[in-house]
Structure 1
Amino acid sequence: MTDELSSYFNDIVNNVNFHIKNFVKSNVRTLEEASFHLFTAGGKRLRPLILVSSSDLIGGDRQRAYKAAAAVEILHNFTLVHDDIMDRDYLRRGLPTVHVKWGEPMAILAGDYLHAKAFEALNEALKGLDGDTFYKAFSIFINSIEIISEGQAMDMSFENRVDVTEEEYVQMIKGKTAMLFSCSAALGGIINKASDDIIKNLIEYGLNLGISFQIVDDILGIIGDEKELGKPVYSDIREGKKTILVIKTLSEAKDDEKKILVSTLGNREAKKDDLERASEIIRKYSLQYAYNLAKKYSDLALEHLRKIPVYNETAEKALKYLAQFTIERRK
């Protein structure tokens, strides 16, 4: 990353963090601590970076963008708190998950609180704008939550199936992950009253970038380092997640290898040796295929980015870099 982009990203993250801290306040100390917990572990802030860079790309209002970016990041953290409860994960970004530290009832409340605070932040971002802009922004925000919920439900339903197709997988990650990337990019245009054509290309940029991001995330769940990932390695195998790697492997592996993989998938009692053997089989048949697929969607994102008139060249460099980073990241 160049010094120019490093400075650009740091400025966005610092300002968005400031707004997040202001929004996630509560008169009940325990609720505030539980709600703010995952923010203290840092995180990439990819969605805020996408939103503010998309806004800058078309010459938008930075202060509105910071508040809208806080809204999408708060919403994202709401989904993480509830996801960790559903997946029974005990680590997130290297920290104990909220339900582990405060218990499930408080974690559910923290998630609900973050959900409300996300809408408060978006409402503040739109203050003073016309009703049509309000409608467009809230529509895509609400629709994102609905589609994220559907994606999560699909992901859970896949755990008990061995016949999940690649098409179903892509549809699932469009909802579970990519929709909020898409919403972030779109809001960068909507809050600045961009044309429908620009917003459409921002939507597609974010959607394809999000698909690429999730594919790489699934790859890292197999080959990543636990300390770098900040969460248990092989957790996707233990939970029976039907990632693109698993789907491809089940279609290509020999019968004895499939048997090993199927017996390990979703087996929460599986020993480390079993998980490592399953991982070896998955790597053998699907690793390069998954990387190529992630690259395909990253390239699609860049195709749509090129269709947008550029007001700010640094913002354009930032959005291009994020597509590159998504493919090359190791955590």
Structure 2
Amino acid sequence: MENFDLRQRLHQGLAIPAHPLALNAQRHLDERRERALTRYYLAAGVGGLAVGVHTTQFAIRSPEIQLLKPVLELAAEEMDRCPRPLVKIAGICGQTYQAIAEAELLRSLGYQAGLLSLGALRSEPEEALIAHCRAVAQVVPIIGFYLQPSVGGRVLPYSFWRKFAEIENVVAIKMAPFNRYQTLDVIRAVMDAGRDDIALYTGNDDNIVADLVTPFEYQGKQRRIVGGLLGHWSVWTQKAVALLQRCQREPASPELLRLGQEITDCNAAFFDAAHGFRGCIAGLHEVLRRQGLLGGLWCLDPQETLSPGQLEEIDRVYAAYPHLNDDAFVTANRDLWLKD
């Protein structure tokens, strides 16, 4: 029954932010601000959260850091307090033995699905990747993840996604190659497999609106990307939820497409597109710091910070598109979210 409910909720089309990691100046977990972030997202009206993913920093799994379980626990506790149903997603990484252990952990903490990163298997052949995915799917429902190579992913051809779509316990796919050709490979593979029960989610932070309003037709069949699982939606989240709702109820229009380009311009600043996305996590932290939700830009890696000129780019888009931020909403509620 849980799988049926999960599929049904995912097909409704949800706004699912990728949850950042709140640290203090000593680069230790700031539990109060971590909880505040979760509360912010829930108050903004999201349909779920993805925790322990790229935006949460993969280094939380390092033996010397060991923050994966504490971070998953904090988010689960806050989500369990929410009166409405949420989809709880946790990232799964590593070689098969690690991925299975992480799948067992997230299941034990009440998470309903695992977002499966294949970054650790970048040199493995296609059949080994499919065997890996099948093994993890035996533990927990999985969400496929097409992560762009510049931030740790690999190119995954149509043939991989066609086989992946045959795995019974796949419930959704997050497409984040930041590439039109590769996004179409995934959609076509799912359609060719006849898997109407696999929900399609955009992770293309550079093309959010166009993904959400485009009908994809192929050989007499049609599919839509129903929602977003996005790092970009970890900031200005109340407006992101409203955007998804608008894309779901309105046909594509010049106004919506213009809005999409404005959002892409903001994403270029936040994600540091000018420098190959090196400052993407710090850029999101900067927006949350300005809103008072984070105390600083600290990442687990001291070298991970804003790129030259990125701060000025964030200033620019903040000034250019004031209608896209949710600063007033955050200001009105921040003290409540920050209460212990």
Q: Which structure: greater helix fraction?
A: 1
Fold in common (TM above 0.5): no
